Structure 1
């Protein structure tokens, strides 16, 4: 995969959690790995059919803080096995590792390595191709997840934090500024770094420009949310529709982002748009080379 990234933009899938929540009353969509694995598998297949090169396991919140009284190792392993069942040749599976919800100042934070170990070992044993540490807002938690992933596996690791634009520039909701966060991610030695979620494609494109001004060699992953949703008629409506994202995706491509996908609120229809634009760029480059 890493060799492929040197010459090709890879398209990741879109949201897992928000899509599964549309289809089920489960509070924690990760539980569906055990209760309705066919539902999870179908979503992976939908993303593959939309053109995704990378599918992400349904394991974002699979940790003992978010989900009680469940064997987290088995839950995470099941997420990887479901993804492998859906996978076809030339696709990659990223094992999703999200934040626990703990703050570094919390007393329970001392157990963070053990919590991540259950999840990451399950993903590794289930057969993922890489570990994706995503939506992190605390540098300390991001570093802990990376430390465990590097210790417990030999897999490539992608690290992605979540930022929003403030009067002081881009910061995580935990208060870490962009430059500090990127420096910490680079110092870890992760093969892929970047950002996900945030407040939509427009803001994430601006963030990607900032990232490119800091990062010169490491592969970059960008997975924007579909914006900040509004509740209308008891449904969450996201403003960034598939029809509205093209110019932002084109900008991400021109910036040289290596992996482009979607986060909360994005759907297979969003991924179809990204796939089409990435393929258009590839065809243009081939025509130019001839």
Structure 2
């Protein structure tokens, strides 16, 4: 697998990532509780349409419809024996759209968390987690993914298992964590701790960063933490389109295209070079982000006050990186609580 992402980054100052998979598939008819990955086989024309909508909006990188494609997530839908098939098909569909774009578009093989908790806190062993990720990655590579893209990881243990699996498959890796608990991931990692451990992973990520979380303001504060700790890192910012609200029986994200355009420019000034949207992000958001980035002259590193003024307040007073409180990982988090 060629390192197409690095080649493109050598030519471009920034790349636009894609938007939300789940949000947009729900609008296409996916029902809550159904596995999106089954649509790779059952509704391929809708998956192609989703990827095409992102490319037409300006995305340079599209993520495959395989976030929940591990044996542990697919077991919930009695499809744990279809890991290779569904992931391969996910990559093939994205590859088809990328190759017809008329410009270089990177296919990133989306790999989400297993949904299990690893030892020593949980019951999933490191070896079993590596095997599950490796199985998924093998399918994505076979389908034509340019790079493996870990998303919404919350524990150091799971991150290390993913990196080892990528190394075994000789697959380029990018990885984003979700910092959604007062500047930390659910299992206690901070932005600074992630930046510090990333270079020593079994497969060193091409790019690191954050996705999802609790809003664009918080995510940019995390990006600042990563770039403070590792100024030379290639950094990913993939924020939700605003804050989720329950409206008329549905989850609605309140971020406008204008807000996401401001977020994209602030992300670039904060040091991110791969910028996109997560939950709630639609093609109209991406079009506004692309236009804003194309017209944006690089500015000074934004202050927290500037981020707050343009995107709204932070969800917590802390970014999780206070002095003396930098331990990370499942085991460390458990000991701190206990």
1:2 aligned to which of 2, 6, 9: 6
Secondary structure class of the residue paired with 2:237: strand
CA distance in structure 2 between the partners assigned to 1:175 and 1:257 by the alignment = 23
Unaligned segments of structure 1, at least 5 residues: 286-290
Q: State the 1:149 CA deviation.
A: 0.9
Is the 8 Å Cα contact of residues 149 and 157 (structure 1) preserved in structure 2? yes
Residue correspondences, number: 279
The answer as to 2:293 corresponding to 1:278 is: yes
CA distance in structure 2 between the partners assigned to 1:279 and 1:12 by the alignment = 14
After superposing the two structures, state which structure 1 stretch, 247-256 or 263-272, moved more. Answer: 247-256
Residues 1-290 of structure 1 mapped to structure 2, 5 A cutoff: 1-6=5-10, 7-26=12-31, 27-68=34-75, 69-70=78-79, 71-87=82-98, 88=101, 89-104=103-118, 105-110=121-126, 111-153=128-170, 155-164=171-180, 166=182, 170-188=183-201, 189-281=204-296
CA-to-aligned-CA distance 1:14-72 (integer Å, 9 cap, x gap): 11122112222341111110110110000000000000001100000001111123210
CA distance in structure 1 between the partners assigned to 2:262 and 2:245 by the alignment = 23
Q: State the 1:186 CA deviation.
A: 2.7
Secondary structure class of the residue paired with 1:67: helix
TM-score, normalization: structure 2?
Answer: 0.79
CA distance in structure 2 between the partners assigned to 1:156 and 1:118 by the alignment = 15
CA-to-aligned-CA distance 1:237-269 (integer Å, 9 cap, x gap): 112121222322221122231100011111111
CA distance in structure 1 between the partners assigned to 2:242 and 2:25 by the alignment = 18
CA distance in structure 1 between the partners assigned to 2:192 and 2:265 by the alignment = 25
Shift in alpha-carbon separation, 1:123–1:146, aligned structure 2, 3 A = same
Secondary structure class of the residue paired with 2:277: coil
CA-to-aligned-CA distance 1:183-234 (integer Å, 9 cap, x gap): 1223222111111111111221222122211112221111001233121111
Is the 8 Å Cα contact of residues 200 and 240 (structure 1) preserved in structure 2? no
Secondary structure class of the residue paired with 2:71: coil
Is the 8 Å Cα contact of residues 11 and 51 (structure 1) preserved in structure 2? yes
After superposing the two structures, state which structure 1 stretch, 261-270 or 237-246, moved more. Answer: 237-246
Unaligned segments of structure 2, at least 5 residues: 299-338
Secondary structure class of the residue paired with 1:172: coil
TM-score, normalization: structure 1?
Answer: 0.91
Partner of 1:288: none
Q: State the 1:165 CA deviation.
A: 5.2
Q: State the 1:93 CA deviation.
A: 0.4
CA distance in structure 2 between the partners assigned to 1:54 and 1:213 by the alignment = 25
CA RMSD in angstroms, aligned pairs only: 1.6
Is the 8 Å Cα contact of residues 201 and 225 (structure 1) preserved in structure 2? yes
Is the 8 Å Cα contact of residues 133 and 146 (structure 1) preserved in structure 2? no
